[in-house]
Amino acid sequence: MFDVGFSELLLIAVVALLVLGPERLPKAARFAGLWVRRARAQWNSVRNEFERELADDELKRTLRETQASLRDAQQSLRDAGGELQREFTTARDDLMRGPRPEPGASPPPVPALAPALLPGETAPEPTHAPDAEPAPEVIWDPPLESASEHSFDPEEEEYDETAPELPFPTDHDDTAKR
């Protein structure tokens, strides 16, 4: 700020000694020191407050930039999610409608359904292919009414052998992991 050298300080001290005298000079020096300290403290306070305001402004600007980038990312995620939703809906609708026929192609023939079998009946032999191998005999077995009909109770001595065998995966079973 001010460029005060040793010679200027010596000149000020001599003038103060002549004006104030030796009795009042120490008291005036203490008073001047007090005001210099207060001025420095006030200057440092203003400078620190100014620096804090600059830092706050920088933080606010950074926060606004970050919020803007987050809004952009959120909007792009919404757009991508909407696009995925539309693609999913289109794919689901296509699957529900089934395959689309080629333009100009005739529709595939609808196979004739066999008549329903009653419990204990066997399917009739096909008559349209005399040179083909005979079809295996199909016997319709009605589903179980409840799981308790054919279950194993460790308290019972008998084991119901008509119970269906269910595959339970084990740690050693490789097919269950596939």
pLDDT mean across residues, the chain: 77
Lowest mean pLDDT among 35-39, 79-83, 101-105, 144-148: 144-148
Confidence at 145, pLDDT banded by 50, 70, 90 = low
Alpha-carbon torsion (171, 172, 175, 178), positive or negative = positive
Confidence at 22, pLDDT banded by 50, 70, 90 = confident
For residues 81 and 73, is the Cβ–Cβ distance under 8 A?
Answer: no
Residue with tokens 């606010």: 60
Confidence at 82, pLDDT banded by 50, 70, 90 = very high
Say whether pLDDT at 51 is over 90: yes
CA-CA distance, 113 to 135, in Å (whole number)?
A: 16
CA-CA distance, 57 to 65, in Å (whole number)?
A: 12
CA-CA distance, 50 to 43, in Å (whole number)?
A: 11
Domain boundaries, the chain: 44-99
pLDDT in tens, 147-169: 455 555 556 555 556 655 655 55
> What contacts 24+ positions apart, CB below 8 Å, involve 123-126?
none
Confidence at residue 178, expressed as pLDDT on a 0 to 100 scale: 46
Q: How many CB atoms lie within 10 A of CB 29?
A: 13
Of all residues in the chain, what percent carry a pLDDT higher than 90?
Answer: 33
Q: For residue 70, how far is the Cα from the chain centroid?
A: 14
pLDDT in tens, 88-133: 999 888 888 876 667 776 666 666 665 666 777 776 665 655 566 6
> Between these two residues, 147 and 9, which has the higher pLDDT value?
9
Please state the pTM of the whole predicted model. 0.33
Confidence at residue 124, expressed as pLDDT on a 0 to 100 scale: 66
Lowest mean pLDDT among 42-56, 70-84, 105-119, 138-152: 138-152
Q: What is the DSSP string of 142-169?
A: PPPS-TTTT---TTSS---TTSPPPP--
Q: For residue 13, how far is the Cα from the chain centroid?
A: 74
